[in-house]
Structure 1
Amino acid sequence: MTLQRTISPVDGTVYVERELADAAHIEACVAGAVTAQREWRQTSLETRARHCSAMVDAFVARRDRLAEELTWQMGRPIAAAGGEIGGFEERARGMIALAESALAPIRLAEKPGFTRYITREPLGVSLIVAPWNFPFMTAVNAIVPAIMAGNAVILKHSAQTPLCAERIAEAFQAAGLPEGVFQFLHLAHADTEALIRDPRIDHVSFTGSVGGGAMVERNAAGRFIATGLELGGKDPAYIRADVDLDAAVDGVMDGAFFNSGQSCCGIERIYVHRDISEAFIERAVAWVRQLELGNPTDPRTTLGPMVRPAAADFVRGQIEEAVAAGAKAWIDPGEYPLSTPGSAYLAPQLLTNVDHSMRVMREESFGPVVGIMTVADDDEAVRLMNDSDFGLTAAVFTRDIAVGEALAARLEAGTVFTNRCDYLDPELAWTGVKQSGRGCSLSRLGYDTLTRPKSFHLKHA
């Protein structure tokens, strides 16, 4: 028996222990998914929607418990943890509502003597590998549309958030979903790779690191199956000179520091027009100073620990290296007693005098730090924003929406915003470019990755 231990970033203790699935358990799970999917694909869309909606009802009814467990597993302040339950509900219900139109047969123009149309057929068994940072919302992006499309799902959740997989399974059980349509496995890395290679797996959805995405591609190679890879970002924001400064600061700084910066689409680079740079920095520093770093189970805490000490030390290293190269750090870490080397608790930091030679402006930090550069005009801002190996989201803050839209069209990112950031609209495609991955979830287009087209070309006798 091999145990998986979840160390809580709150206090460094073991919060959850779970036995990893052995070969017999994995085989039973996959075989059960294949069998269940053969029947599930024959069910009506109305039946699928009823089960999925009942699952959401059962899930949100346990909001308080789910939020508390989330805080202990990955460190999000309890004051904000409940928002993820709301996000799960919004995305799930949104994808349920879109299913009828997204999965409807495509009827073609009449052609004498022929009937022609295209249907959307389920792929089979979908393996969903979900991360710890937004463990419910990232998982639901793929789970609900996969099941609505007629697939069976096997969820492999992060070892940091194993209870999230179990709670989703409990909600589906309460909803009466047929056995085998949704299952989860707690897996070792080697077993996850082997499962991706299993010929009975027809689709893989992965959210995580670039290295993790490469692992999925290696193991799926040669099988010609669909994969969806959401691999993070180094997302930029541009603050034009014409902004409502207070609103822009509040929006972009929340986008940088929410969840201790542990968001794939969090803002990690800010470019500010030189005419307002001093005023922006002054307000941004004041905004950061009002954050309360502390135990996330305390309702007064607004900045919790990072997921593990090693992650915090990685960001500390980026900051120290940048300062040594000439960057200015505006926040004194000494004012935060919990923030010490080797601790998961990390003081927030805002850096200026940075440039793209520094790791903090190139590598994904995934922590409570943001670098700010001054730019002369829109063209310089766009050039710097696109100077990245990543392209998940990008944001432009401006009062001139026409200009903002024109700049957004020039940005290399899967989602572009004006006057907001760090948000997923279920009706919009969630996708990335460059090392942020490939594939698409959410929106009507998200159903395309979970189905295959089948053409009917019927000649009348």
Structure 2
Amino acid sequence: MDSINPATGEVIETYDDHTADDVDSILDESAAVTSDWAETPITDRQQLLERAADVLRDNEDEYAELITHEMGKPISESRAEVEKCAWVCEYYAERAGEFLADRVIGSEPNARTFVSYEPLGAVLAVMPWNFPFWQVFRFAAPHLTAGNVGLLKHASNVPGCALAIEDVFREAGYPEGVFSTLLVDSEKMEDVIRDDRLDALTLTGSEGAGRTVAEQAGNELKKHVLELGGSDPFVVCEDADLDAAAETGVAARTINSGQSCIAAKRFIVVDAVYEDFLDQFVQEMEALEVGDPTDSDTEVGPQAREDLVEDLHEQVEASVDAGADLACGGGPMDREGWYYPPTVLAEPPMDSPAATEEVFGPVAAVFRAEDEADAIEMANDTHYGLGASIWTADLERGEGLAREIDAGCVFVNELVKSDPRVPFGGVKASGYGRELGKEGIHEFVNRKTVWVQSPGDEDDAVPTE
């Protein structure tokens, strides 16, 4: 696997893939430690997770530079990503015991009935390159602490990050085999998914990858969670604070240089404020600093791979050809590296790529809606359903509109974000299952019902099937 710097196109380092024998040994090691790790007191597992947070913070600069060099994220965002990983570790170090405590249920006077949360075993995480540390830690922090062991198949363009994350857990004191990295191509994942030593899996990635993994996991009857793509609407009502909406909208579209599943991608603005919002939004997009991602002043860095720039430009060209107005940007930048400028497409047709596809890069599509009702209809006119953002001065209206949006999460007067404290995930083609929060840690546990009847009470029992 080649690690290539997107800002220069140069190979940073080449890593040897794991062979079939290597994979077999890693699965054996995971299987061997599964029972002991599940029986480790949760307080011990929480303490180890707290140490992982310390390791992340102690090495923040090193990890941030690695992220930036491997996938091109601006260095300020890379540092923020490492800090967020430490936060999710601290969150579950504090709350996992509470979330996994037996839940007592009333049944009969002479019986104790409760739900016990017990680990499933070995869980595979197939993770993407765009948030190479955060995506992994939001999986690992809850599910290792729940008593599962973790296996990571990371994106092939961030092998250095994958191995660094494995080292974080090793340095924190986790037993060998509790968290392991598989440096293999995606084509070899089917054999791993079929392996009896694997009990469950989760994937964050494209809709196509999700469908493939869901079919394979379903055929093996293995529990799985999917967090897939999105085409998030950003709805601006006529009473919105346009300054705040435009400023936050630009951040929501261009975070991670536009390469985020939950980035705002379709800006749907009611007619009464459309022109004013568009003017402010374009000005904000054009003012962004595009440049070397290692420079702390850079706000938009390169795209992670050359093919991603090509795909992005094809979508822009097709949308313009279909009738969209190119308000700014619109073509690969003439410089070293894989750069695409902040771009705004005004009023693209509803059958253009900007309206129907996930556009993964710093390209915003701004649509005109007749009124609020039309805006909500347009927001829901997508087969995706990951997140949405609504902007209005009327908080009661905002909450009401949030309930009308078909998405896994809706934010009012705020950009869509993942937060350790609240569940995260999508509906429709954006996947199923939840990460983070209390709901997230329960995805990969056996929610076992236990009924303990007092001796001698058999005659009082109610007959059941």
TM-score range, shorter chain: over 0.9
Q: 2:443 — aligned with what?
A: 449
After TM superposition, list the pairs within 5 Å mapping 1:130-169 onto structure 2.
130-169=127-166
Q: 1:86 — aligned with what?
A: 83
CA contact (8 A) 1:126 1:201 kept: yes
CA contact (8 A) 1:356 1:362 kept: yes
User: Which letter maps to 2:323?
Assistant: G
State the 1:332 CA deviation: 4.5
Moved more, 86-95 or 344-353: 86-95
CA contact (8 A) 1:294 1:338 kept: no
The correspondence for 1:40, drawn from 37, 40, 48, is 37
1:391 equivalent to 2:388? Answer no
SS where residue 136 of structure 2 aligns? helix
User: Which letter maps to 1:456?
Assistant: V
Q: 1:412 — aligned with what?
A: 406
For each residue in 1:65-103, what CA deviation from the matched residue of structure 2 results, as whole angstroms up to 9, or x when unmatched? Answer: 111111110011123221111111222222332312211
Give unpaired runs (5+ residues) of structure 2.
Answer: 456-465
Q: In 2 relative to 1, CA 100–376 (structure 1 residues): closer, same or farther, beyond 3 Å? A: same
CA contact (8 A) 2:410 2:416 kept: no
Moved more, 428-437 or 106-115: 106-115
Q: In 2 relative to 1, CA 108–334 (structure 1 residues): closer, same or farther, beyond 3 Å? A: closer
**How many Å separate the matches in 2 of 1:334 and 1:124?**
48
Question: Which segments of structure 1 move beyond 3 Å, counting only runs of 4 or more?
Answer: 332-337
The correspondence for 1:379, drawn from 370, 373, 379, is 373
**How many Å separate the matches in 1 of 2:139 and 2:205?**
14
SS where residue 300 of structure 1 aligns? coil
CA contact (8 A) 1:237 1:269 kept: yes
User: Which letter maps to 2:169?
Assistant: F
For each residue in 1:221-268, what CA deviation from the matched residue of structure 2 results, as whole angstroms up to 9, or x when unmatched? Answer: 332211011111001110111111111111111101111110000011
User: Which letter maps to 1:73?
Assistant: E
SS where residue 40 of structure 2 aligns? coil
State the 1:336 CA deviation: 4.8
The correspondence for 1:111, drawn from 83, 87, 108, is 108
The correspondence for 1:101, drawn from 95, 98, 101, is 98
State the 1:15 CA deviation: 1.5
TM score, norm. by length of structure 2: 0.95
State the 1:391 CA deviation: 0.4
State the 1:110 CA deviation: 5.9
State the 1:333 CA deviation: 4.9
| Number of residues of Structure 1 aligned to a counterpart in Structure 2 | 455
Q: 1:5 — aligned with what?
A: 2
The correspondence for 1:361, drawn from 339, 355, 359, is 355
Moved more, 34-43 or 76-85: 76-85
**How many Å separate the matches in 2 of 1:457 and 1:448?**
20
State the 1:118 CA deviation: 1.6
SS where residue 201 of structure 2 aligns? strand
After TM superposition, list the pairs within 5 Å mapping 1:5-404 onto structure 2.
5-109=2-106, 111-333=108-330, 336-338=333-335, 344-404=338-398
User: Which letter maps to 2:354?
Assistant: V
State the 1:56 CA deviation: 1.3
Q: In 2 relative to 1, CA 334–433 (structure 1 residues): closer, same or farther, beyond 3 Å? A: closer
User: Which letter maps to 1:344?
Assistant: W
Give unpaired runs (5+ residues) of structure 1.
Answer: none
User: Which letter maps to 1:42?
Assistant: E
**How many Å separate the matches in 2 of 1:356 and 1:94?**
42
CA contact (8 A) 1:239 1:270 kept: yes
**How many Å separate the matches in 1 of 2:340 and 2:449?**
55
1:426 equivalent to 2:420? Answer yes
For each residue in 1:334-376, what CA deviation from the matched residue of structure 2 results, as whole angstroms up to 9, or x when unmatched? Answer: 795439xxx6211211011212110111101111101111112
CA contact (8 A) 1:261 1:367 kept: yes
SS where residue 305 of structure 1 aligns? coil
User: Which letter maps to 1:328?
Assistant: D
Q: How well do the aligned residues superpose, as a CA RMSD in angstroms?
A: 1.5
State the 1:52 CA deviation: 0.9
**How many Å separate the matches in 2 of 1:80 and 1:332?**
23
**How many Å separate the matches in 1 of 2:44 and 2:194?**
31
**How many Å separate the matches in 1 of 2:3 and 2:165?**
18
Moved more, 100-109 or 87-96: 87-96
CA contact (8 A) 1:145 1:450 kept: no
**How many Å separate the matches in 2 of 1:165 and 1:58?**
15
User: Which letter maps to 1:394?
Assistant: A
Moved more, 7-16 or 387-396: 7-16
Moved more, 243-252 or 297-306: 297-306
Moved more, 347-356 or 294-303: 294-303
Residue identity over aligned pairs, in percent, reads 32
**How many Å separate the matches in 1 of 2:331 and 2:121?**
54
CA contact (8 A) 2:331 2:340 kept: no
State the 1:406 CA deviation: 0.2
Moved more, 105-114 or 256-265: 105-114
